[in-house]
Amino acid sequence: MTSFHSLRYYLSEHPSIVSFRWSHAQSWGSTWSFLFTAIAFYISAAVLLHVLLLILFRHRRPLPLGPLPAAHSLCMALISATIFAGTILSAAAEIRDTRWLWRRSRTTTFQWLLCFPLGTRPSGRVFFWSYIYYLSRFLHALRSFITIIRYRKLSFFKLFNHSILIFMSFLWLEFSQSFQVLAILLTTLVYSVVYGYRFWTAIGLPSACFPFVVNCQIVLLSCNLLCHFGVLLLHYIKGGCNGIGAWVFNSVLNGAILLLFLNFYVKMHLRKGKAGDRDGAAAAGDDNGFVTEKLDVKDKDT
């Protein structure tokens, strides 16, 4: 019990978490100029690295990176699990401390998770973990460079999606967007499993006999889509949800990527039935913002 209390303190009751406030003057990476500069630098660096590798290496054989892919997967799995635990404990604490304010409007816990009241400010526990999630998107984007170095393949769609992920998580904080708590919980839960699986296969342990990663992403995108319908319903019933403009952009993105995944999922199974054990493509993506990349059916690209 003492360990649990210590964990809860450091993940939801620490003064730096409770007093967090998203501010352009105090939060690193919180300005629009930083956001666009960082995205431009990420895309430029990826393209430049790809061109340099094509010049230096004529062959297309994979370049060994040693333990780097496994280390990145393990790091992302641990960070995702930490954000998940911190967000769920912080959300519980926020609900405990502010439930008395909801009695007049008859707001339930689930309604609060889907629809922030109008006027919500980006401060407090859950927004601290939203900020950590935003910063983790930069670490997640490093996977593009690992793929470029190993296979000399550059996917502009992947670069675009990574950029959208960073952009969307910034908007969550900037406009106190509704639904972000559930989105972070769902995404980090799936990411901790997916990256844990990638670490498992990267160190040479056996992979699943089915496309594990793409199935996880289909489940995640489907849950996000259902929750988006809930936000839309509450927006009209409750008289408005905070940050609805950013939510609309998020909904369009998730809907488009879900259609892409479903289309690719069907084609993958059709190809698998015709080609037997040949390599196919599997999609790997991320939340509220996601990334698609080509993988082996056995998820060897870890």
Q: What is the pLDDT of residues 195-246, one digit of tens each?
A: 999 998 888 887 777 677 877 887 887 788 788 888 888 888 877 888 888 8
Assigned domain for 302 exists: no
* pLDDT, position 271: 67
Assigned domain for 23 exists: no
pLDDT beyond 60 at 289: no
Measured CA to CA, the distance from residue 237 to residue 254 in angstroms comes to 23
Assigned domain for 152 exists: yes
* pLDDT, position 286: 38
Q: Region 163-185: what's the mean pLDDT?
A: 91
Measured CA to CA, the distance from residue 80 to residue 275 in angstroms comes to 35
pLDDT beyond 50 at 83: yes
Assigned domain for 290 exists: no
Mean pLDDT score across all residues of the chain:
81
Assigned domain for 252 exists: yes
* pLDDT, position 300: 42
Question: What pLDDT, in 10s, does the model give residues 247-272?
Answer: 888 778 777 777 766 776 677 666 66
Measured CA to CA, the distance from residue 235 to residue 240 in angstroms comes to 4
82 vs 106, 129, 189, 192, 217, CA distance in Å?
32, 9, 10, 9, 20
3-state secondary structure 113-140: HHCCCCCCCCECHHHHHHHHHHHHHHHH
Contact 34, 138 (CB under 8 A): no
10, two tokens: 């450091």
Q: Region 51-71: what's the mean pLDDT?
A: 83
CB neighbour burial string for 162-180, b if at least 16 within 10 angstroms, e if fewer = bbbbbbbbbbbbbbbbbbb
Task: Out of 62-71, 93-102, 152-161, 293-302, pick the least confident.
Answer: 293-302
Class of residue 290 by CB neighbours under 10 A (exposed 0-12, middle 13-18, buried 19+): buried
Domain that holds residue 201: 2-17+31-275
Contact 150, 62 (CB under 8 A): yes
Contact 282, 296 (CB under 8 A): yes
Contact 143, 81 (CB under 8 A): no
Assigned domain for 84 exists: yes
- Number of structural domains (the chain) is 1
Question: What pLDDT, in 10s, does the model give residues 101-115?
Answer: 666 666 677 888 888
Assigned domain for 291 exists: no
Assigned domain for 171 exists: yes
What's the pLDDT band for 274 if we cut at 50, 70, 90?
Answer: low
Express as a percent the part of the chain with pLDDT over 70.
82
Contact 217, 291 (CB under 8 A): no
Per this entry, what is the length of the chain?
A: 302
pLDDT beyond 90 at 27: no
